Amino acid sequence: MDPLLVYVILGACAAGFIQGLSGFAFGLTSMAFWVWAVPPQLAAPMVVFGSLIGQMMAVGSLRHAFDLKRALPFILGGVVGVPAGAALLPHIDQTVFKAAIGALLAVWCPIMLAIRNLPRIHHGGKLADGAIGLIGGVMGGLGGLTGPVPTLWCNLRGWDKNAQRAVFQSFNLVMHALTLSVYAVSGLITQDAAGMFVVIAPAMIIPALIGARLYARFSDATFRRLILVLLLISGLVLLASTAPKLLA
């Protein structure tokens, strides 16, 4: 088998499982595999496509916790941010971008894990939520990484696990659909990318379903720790994968 396909399949399986378990992190997990073999301009639409498939699979499981008023500011901010991020994609050094995200996660998540009682942010209201959505949208347009900032923010808002997941999954679903549409209109979805979509979708379905079953067993506190640990690991992987290129 082509080594490239091996990396793509392994990344899709691992990322599908983690997304089913946590509701996000498809991009962060898949890039731990794909960064070694997939060109950045090809990886971006692959990440967005896989993330969108995962969110579509899970959309029905949290419909009872969905609150449009809570999710709408994030979504509106993201709708503004995605086209801006997509426009910047051809002009941004993806290595520097991913290294910066990795450094942020590697510093912030251990601090949050070390604090027994996480701080709760009750200020800012919908305007702050919209600003977070804007940042997530820009990061999604740049590389399909819509999840980290809104997920951390929902964690700090102190909502229960279902409320958190309903917000960032609905946000991610809309952002990935919008991002993929922008990529298509911009000509960023090449024949090579479309071919990879055919590989990614079937590879991630079963792992995603297994992860979703395990999610139901977690308490709110365990889910918060899981989110932070996954973000920390993702940050370290991003740093490890980009360091050789930065040093070179």
Residue 227 makes CB contacts below 8 A (sequence gap 6+) with 22, 151, 152, 155, 164
* Residue 218, pLDDT score: 83
Can you tell me whether residue 232 is helix, strand or coil? helix
- Residues of the chain below pLDDT 70: 1, 60-62, 116, 118, 143-144
State pTM to two decimals. Answer: 0.76
pLDDT at 176: 84
Q: Under 8 Å CB-to-CB from 134, ≥6 apart: which residues?
A: 77, 78, 80, 81
| Closest listed residue to residue 26, CA positions, set 160, 184, 143 | 143
From 162, 179, 149, select the one nearest 66 (Cα to Cα): 162
CB atoms within 10 A of CB 65: 18
Predicted pLDDT at 206? 94
**pLDDT of 17:** 92
**Pick from 9, 22, 11: which is nearest to 211 by CA?**
22
pLDDT at position 144, please? 65
